[in-house]
Structure 1
Amino acid sequence: MSIFDFAAGTDPAAAEAGAICSRKACRAQASWQLLWNNPKIHSPERRKTWLACADHREWLEDYLQTRGLWKETLPLDDSRASGGPGQDS
């Protein structure tokens, strides 16, 4: 672990183990992908992806819905999301 990983609160070993929840400071394994876009800056077909664990799915959905950005939530293993299940914040 580098000093930059320590300062950012990231654990490279956890990141290599699989998809990690996008909620700040959460290091749990993600099981959901939340697809969203910002219509002010993205084309209508573009989808950005946040990953969520079971505990933070509802919180992240609410955050995106409140701002009019949320499009849909899919299980992480669902391949319908454009660009795959990567974290795209």
Structure 2
Amino acid sequence: MIDLLGGALPREACSRAGCTADASWRIDWRNPRIHTGDRFKTWLACDEHVDYLRDFLAAREFPLTVKPVDSLQPGEAAS
């Protein structure tokens, strides 16, 4: 990723426990029982764990979207 001044932004690690690989994907999700419709959480995933994390959330019927991690806005971090 490149910031607005042309410098490289630091890469974030995958959200899977114990994984230190660079994230390639962002998974935006919410638990409708506790999150309002405008509040989403974001997990980051490497290529190896994106399916695992997506399936974990989908099995609980949480609304989610999967996008490339490059869609994070400057200054936006995973929650």
Match of 2:64 in 1: 71
Following TM superposition, by how much is the alpha carbon of 1:71 offset from its aligned partner in structure 2, in angstroms? 1.4
Q: Paired residues, what number?
A: 69
Match of 2:78 in 1: 87
Tell me how large the CA RMSD over aligned residues is: 1.8
Q: Aligned equivalents of 2:16 and 2:72: distance in 1?
A: 22
Query: What amino acid sits opposite 2:26 in the alignment?
Result: Q
TM (norm. structure 2) is 0.78
Query: What amino acid sits opposite 2:49 in the alignment?
Result: H
Query: What amino acid sits opposite 1:21 in the alignment?
Result: C
TM (norm. structure 1) is 0.70
Q: Which runs of 5+ in 2 are unaligned?
A: 1-9
Percent of aligned pairs with the same amino acid: 41
Q: Aligned equivalents of 1:24 and 1:69: distance in 2?
A: 20
Q: Which runs of 5+ in 1 are unaligned?
A: 1-16
Verify: 1:32 aligned to 2:25, yes or no.
yes
Deviating above 4 A after TM superposition, structure 1's stretches of 4 or more consecutive aligned residues are none
Following TM superposition, by how much is the alpha carbon of 1:79 offset from its aligned partner in structure 2, in angstroms? 4.1
